[in-house]
A and B are shown apart, each in its own frame.
Chain A
Amino acid sequence: MTTAEVAAGPLSDFDHRAQLRRAVIASTVGTTIEWYDFLLYGQMAALVFAKLYFPSSDPLTGTLQAFAVFAVGFVARPIGAAIFGHYGDRIGRKAALIATLLLTGLSTFLVGCVPTYEQIGIWGPVVLVVLRFIQGIGVGGEWGGSVLLSMEWARTSKNRGFLAAWPQFGGPAGFFLANLAILAFSQMSGDQFLSWGWRVPFWLSLIMVGIGLSIRLGILETPIFQRVIAEERSRVRRSSRSSNANQRRSCSPRSREWGKWLPSTYTTPSFSPTA
């Protein structure tokens, strides 16, 4: 199986620090976009979606339907977590994080392009639900990877909590930007907000994705993941190469580990219900 690029050798102190900084920024920007997109949709569902996409129903049903669209995003999140968790633990953190960023950002951008019920009828709300589902899958894969990207660059256990708090910082940052965008655009006079103003905050997501992508493409796979992969490869190589008894003896405990590792990837040993 291919993995993300492995650094040529151990990085120098200076390069490690630079990578660490870049990784922390990449993960914080990513979670900011993630929360911005997810919360923007939630807020807009109440403000405009009911009026523009569910007009045939009475106002209350319209709001309920818009929230149903909102709930679809929630249901999609664990699905995204399972999909990107699977690939992130096998192929690597970096590849998974680039995919989640694109998925979340592009689906959010497209939400801003969906024609209204008046223009294309029932397809309006249908496309909205589908986009929300795709967005939720991206959001579901984003958080875990961002946290690992920051944490797995930590050199010691002394600052892991501090580093992992930065992707958490993306929560209020995304919330702040989403609410700021709504506050700014809802001040527009008359029907302008309802007719096109509400779409602009969704389009702005594209700019943030561009920034996020340019940072994420430049990061290396985390050292911890690189090492785990390298160790597994050499383990496999050694056990397949073992021809003489001496080698077999030395590798047998390792292949036993390998045998235990395989089933363990499909089960979850410790799980925190508080998260």
Chain B
Amino acid sequence: MGQMAPVYVYNAFVFTYGMKVVGASRDFLLIVLLIGSFFSFFTIPFSGYLSDRLGRRHVYIFGAAATGLFAFAYFAMLDTAMPGLIILATLIAFAFHDLMWGPLAALTAESFTPRLRYSGASIGFQLAAVFAGGPAPMIATAILASTGSGQMIALYIFGCAIVSVAATAFLPSGRDRDFTRDHV
């Protein structure tokens, strides 16, 4: 949840916010996102590597907490309407998000044994996409329409991050389990 909601805000809702509130052009925002996803080409494998060294849950929880806190700064930086700051805000937001996105796959798959893994991981991930990801741009749009403030949207992202941090903290560590076998 802490991963899905922000990513749809940063990738989809940013067009609504960027064009209507900040006054940026569509092409500019598209280019900013292109730079951001190019940057992710490096941060995602790196965060996967970090999760092998430091533990997946630690990296994921750090990423979720950092994403939740940075959301406030993100909207403040967008509000300046300075191209440099918009690009910087996007890069930082993507980097923190990737600390969740990188280890997410292994974290999810390690929660299941081989004979349940495909179903378990797929259904878990896709349900999260439907309930947290899909409605996120609409929720953000509704918040913007009723409050007119980016900071309130940041609060929403912050709330999603708290859910993620708590849920991940309760997840048993995959480290001490045998990934390769069906333990009954």
Which one of B1, B11, B120, B128 contacts A175 once the chains associate, using CB atoms below 8 Å? B11
Bound CA–CA A172/B129 (angstroms): 16
Q: Is the CB of A228 within 8 A of B114?
A: yes
Query: Residue-by-residue, is A134-151 near B (CB-CB < 8 Å gives 1, otherwise 0)?
Result: 000000110111011011
Q: Which chain A residues lie closer than 8 Å to B2 at the CB level?
A: 274
Q: Is the CB of A183 within 8 A of B30?
A: yes
Give the number of residues in A that approach B within 8 Å (Cβ atoms). Answer: 65
Q: Is the CB of A167 within 8 A of B105?
A: yes
Bound CA–CA A160/B108 (angstroms): 12
Given A157-B179, A167-B105, A140 contacting B1 (CB threshold 8 A): no
Q: Which residue of A lies closest to B111 (CB)?
A: A270
Bound CA–CA A154/B33 (angstroms): 32
> Is residue B90 within 8 Å, beta carbon to beta carbon, of the partner chain?
no
Bound CA–CA A260/B183 (angstroms): 10
Q: Is the CB of A172 within 8 A of B114?
A: no
> Is residue B181 within 8 Å, beta carbon to beta carbon, of the partner chain?
yes
Which one of B38, B122, B172 contacts A81 once the chains associate, using CB atoms below 8 Å? B122
> Is residue B167 within 8 Å, beta carbon to beta carbon, of the partner chain?
yes
Bound CA–CA A124/B55 (angstroms): 50
Bound CA–CA A93/B122 (angstroms): 12
Best-buried of B2, B124, B171 by chain A (most CB within 10 Å): B124
> Is residue A59 within 8 Å, beta carbon to beta carbon, of the partner chain?
no
Interface segment out of the listed B41-49, B72-80, B150-158 = B41-49
Q: Nearest Cβ in chain A — how far from B26, in angstroms?
A: 9
Give the number of residues in B that approach A within 8 Å (Cβ atoms). Answer: 70
Bound CA–CA A111/B10 (angstroms): 26
Q: Nearest Cβ in chain B — how far from A159, in angstroms?
A: 6
Given A176-B38, A271-B111, A165 contacting B103 (CB threshold 8 A): yes
Query: Residue-by-residue, is A71-88 near B (CB-CB < 8 Å gives 1, otherwise 0)?
Result: 100110110111011101
Given A157-B175, A179-B33, A183-B34, A168 contacting B101 (CB threshold 8 A): yes
Chain B residues numbered 8-22 whose CB sits less than 8 Å from any CB in chain A: 11-12
Mark A residues whose CB is within 8 Å of B.
Answer: 42, 71, 74-75, 77-78, 80-82, 84-86, 88-89, 93, 96, 140-141, 143-145, 147-148, 150-152, 157-169, 171-173, 175-176, 179-180, 182-183, 224-225, 227-228, 257, 260-261, 264-265, 268-275
